[in-house]
Amino acid sequence: MTAADLRLPPGPVDLSALDSGATPGFDGDKKAGKGALMALGDELSDLQERLYAEGVADVGHGRALLLVLQGMDTSGKGGVLRHTVGLVDPQGVSIHSFKRPTEEELQHDFLWRIRKALPDKGRIGVFDRSHYEDVLIGRVRELAPKKEIEERYDAINAFETEALGAGITIIKCMLHISAETQRERLLARLDDPQKHWKFNPADVDERALWPKYQEAYEIALERTNTEVAPWYVVPSDHKWYRNLAIGQLLHETLLAMNPQWPAADFDVEEQRQRLLTEVPLQ
């Protein structure tokens, strides 16, 4: 599998034509998929640490990586965090979950809280939901005037261009599931008392608006699918494929960023001698 298998082509988007149960670019089964993700782990860890080292050493132009996770309820944003993002050192990761905006956040432009959450140099940032909610639930539930919603797509593109200019490479993933998969997963939550806390009756109300959400996604995907920050549609009916696919996207993106171990900005031999010739300390 490569990123190209998941890259959304430019132009109009028809999600119903994209098979959410497919496993593009991967021939193996669940067991092979899990194995392939584990096999990526060490390399992901190594690349992440190099990126982090660049940040600490203040080289590499202050680069960072931002993974944006969007998807309908139960599509598995949490699972990706646990199983894929969880493969690398948690010190190098900053995760932001965007919930319903607070009163303070509502008093600012919709990108205000997003800007504040951008990853520091050297980090892998992850957005669990994001500014896209403002053109998804924002559009479906008419949380802002129509004209304002329309203006947000361009605002998002400008913002993402600006972020790239500041050294932040963005990977945007839409975790694509079918309505039937969501139904099965919601029922599974009801069947397992250990998962009741994940269930909210309001999720079923939201589900009734499924077609409207799919339409809002199609519009958002089409209008913000830029060269600067392209969209990847990740078929997510199979959890193992979803986790592997995002691991692969992270891996390819980090490889392309090619972070390097920073060189010493001090005289290594001089420091070695200091340690070897010091007076005893204890």
Interacting residue ranges for a second copy, rule: CB under 8 A:
16, 53, 56-57, 78, 81-82, 85-86, 89-91, 93, 95, 97, 128, 178-179, 183, 186-187, 190, 193-194, 196-201, 204, 207-208, 210-211, 261-264, 266, 268, 271-272, 274-276, 278, 281-282
Give 10-17 contacts, CB < 8 A, sequence gap 24+. Answer: 10/225, 11/222, 12/218, 12/222, 13/217, 13/218, 13/219, 13/221, 13/222, 13/225, 14/218, 15/176, 15/214, 15/217, 15/218, 15/221, 15/233, 16/214
Q: How far is the CB of 148 from a second copy (least distance, A)?
A: 28
Which H/E stretch holds residue 71?
A: strand 64-71
Nearer to a second copy, 256 or 281 (CB): 281
Q: How far is the CB of 265 from a second copy (least distance, A)?
A: 9
Q: How far is the CB of 136 from a second copy (least distance, A)?
A: 17
Compute the Cα dihedral for 90, 94, 100, 105 and give only its sign. positive
Which H/E stretch holds residue 126?
A: strand 124-128
Nearer to a second copy, 90 or 145 (CB): 90
Cα–Cα distance measured from residue 74 to residue 191, given in angstroms and rounded to the nearest whole number: 15
Nearer to a second copy, 256 or 264 (CB): 264
Q: How far is the CB of 96 from a second copy (least distance, A)?
A: 10
Nearer to a second copy, 1 or 85 (CB): 85
Nearer to a second copy, 69 or 149 (CB): 69
**Contact assessment for residue 66 and residue 127, using Cβ atoms and an 8 Å cutoff:** yes
Q: How far is the CB of 189 from a second copy (least distance, A)?
A: 9
**Contact assessment for residue 93 and residue 254, using Cβ atoms and an 8 Å cutoff:** no
